[in-house]
Each structure stands twice: as structure tokens, then as C-alpha cells.
Amino acid sequence: MKKSRRVFSFIVGGLFSLFIPLGAYFYLKLNGHDGHVKLPDNFGIDKVDSQLVEGKMKYDTTYHTIQDIKLISQLGDSISLNETFKGKILVVNFFFTSCQTICPELSKNMKLLNKAFLKNDSSVRFISISVDPSTDSIPRLRTYADKYHANHDKWYFLTGDKKQIYNFARNELKLELTEGDGGENDFIHPDKFTLIDKYRNIRGYYNGLDSDIVRLCAEDITYLMLEKNKLHEKRTR
């Protein structure tokens, strides 16, 4: 039974990694994305300006752009989220290495995304940030990354200053992140994957525990890979 489950998991993972990105990519290449496909929406409004033009009220929405954070990777490298990954699409989640509840499932699904885009190294990076930086040292992060067979130049496990990490999650990614009761649930972190475009706008939140929803994230990554200019993209299907 265990062997058959492993075979089934291998087949599903292979189909996920092959057909989701390729299917979406070729669909967009053949049909374009200027009215045929809706690009992922923007999330997080910083302000809305309005003005009266020819008797009609016009609105100009300014969407939230995430500010930078500097962290350390599982290889001991200094990472600036906005500078190191300038021009890259990012998928960000939060975890901690000693978590035995939702983190293994989150990491398993992030691994599927990592595997799905092996051939697109120049376009997308996957970011897993520890909410327990005092425990999650560089060696622990490296061991955890190796456990999930992470491609170290594409899937980054990051640690750093706890206050900055929590501020980044709450105020930049607009996620709920709180400290718990001192036990297994000491760190209450979101189960969401956050999709960030190359302009550093938030373009989606996905339930990282649901493989079907994660497939939607894979599709949206592919759409963003073909997005040319966020100010001129049409957003209607």
C-alpha cells in the first residue's frame, strides 16, 4: 500500500510540474493575454485619488508595494528581498523547522511549485521565512531545505531579526502573524502562499495546504511571467 501511494504521489507530482506551467504558457503564447486571460489581481490598496474630468469622477488606485527586508539564507548568504531578487516573481510563505503541524504540508506543496518551475530559473523564486529565528540557525535551515530536496539557488529558507520578520508579514504582506502559548503553537503563522510580482505588488494569496489551490498559484505565476507592463495590461477575460 505504501509503495502504491509513493507511485501515485510521484505521478501526480510529475503531472503537476509538467502540465500546469507548460499548458498555461502555451495557451497564453497562442491566444495572447490582452483580453483572453485575466491576469492576477492586485491586493492591498495604499490610496485612491479622485478627480473630476469632463463632468465624470475618475479614480486612480495606488496599490501597495512591499518594502525591502534583509535576511540570511540556508547557505549563509545575505539576502535583500527586493535587490537580490530584483525583477523576479516571488512566492513567500512562513514556517519554522520544529513545526509538526501545518509546516510539513506547506513545505511539500512549496516543493511542488519549486519542481514545477525548474526550467524557469530566471523568472521566479520561492521564499520560506522562519518565524522562529532564534532556533532556526543556518545549519538547521540547510538541513530542513535538504530534507525537501530544495534547489538552493531557487528556493530560499530565510532567517533574521524576529521583529523585522513579524513586521514584514503584518505590514508589508498584510498577513496575520502572532506569538502563541509557548508550546507547539508558540508561533501562529499563516497557511498562505503570497504571490508577489516583479514590481513588488501583491498579486494573490493561496491556501498552501490545498494542492488544488496551489495549482492555481502555479497558473498565476505563469501569467505573471508573460506580463509586460503592469500599467498597460488589460485585466478582463
Q: Is residue 209 part of a domain?
A: yes
41 occurs within a structural domain: yes
β-strand pairing of 78-80 with 70-72 = antiparallel
Instruction: Look at residue 236 and tell me if it is in a domain.
Output: no
Q: What is the pTM of this model?
A: 0.76
Query: CATH number, domain at 144?
Result: 3.40.30.10
The residue range of the domain holding 189 is 2-225
233 is a domain residue: no
Residue 145 domain flag: yes
| 234 within domain boundaries | no
Number of independent structural domains in the chain? 1
Instruction: Give the pLDDT confidence of 169-201 residue by residue, as tens digits.
Output: 999 999 987 765 444 445 677 899 999 999 999
Q: Is residue 232 part of a domain?
A: no
Residue 235 within a domain? no
pLDDT in tens, the chain (237 residues): 444 444 334 444 444 444 445 454 444 444 444 445 566 766 666 544 445 555 564 545 566 799 999 999 999 999 999 999 999 999 999 999 999 989 999 999 999 999 888 766 688 999 999 999 999 999 999 999 999 999 999 999 999 999 999 999 999 999 987 765 444 445 677 899 999 999 999 999 999 999 999 999 999 999 898 887 555 444 433
Taking each helix axis from N to C end, the angle separating 103-116 and 211-225, rounded to the nearest 10 degrees, works out to 40
Task: Detail the DSSP E strand segments found in the chain.
Answer: 45-53, 56-63, 70-72, 78-80, 89-95, 124-130, 155-158, 178-179, 187-188, 192-196, 202-207
* Residues 42-47: contacts with CB under 8 Å, at least 24 apart: 42/201, 42/202, 42/203, 43/174, 43/201, 43/202, 43/203, 43/204, 43/205, 44/174, 44/201, 44/202
Predicted confidence at residue 176, as pLDDT, reads: 82
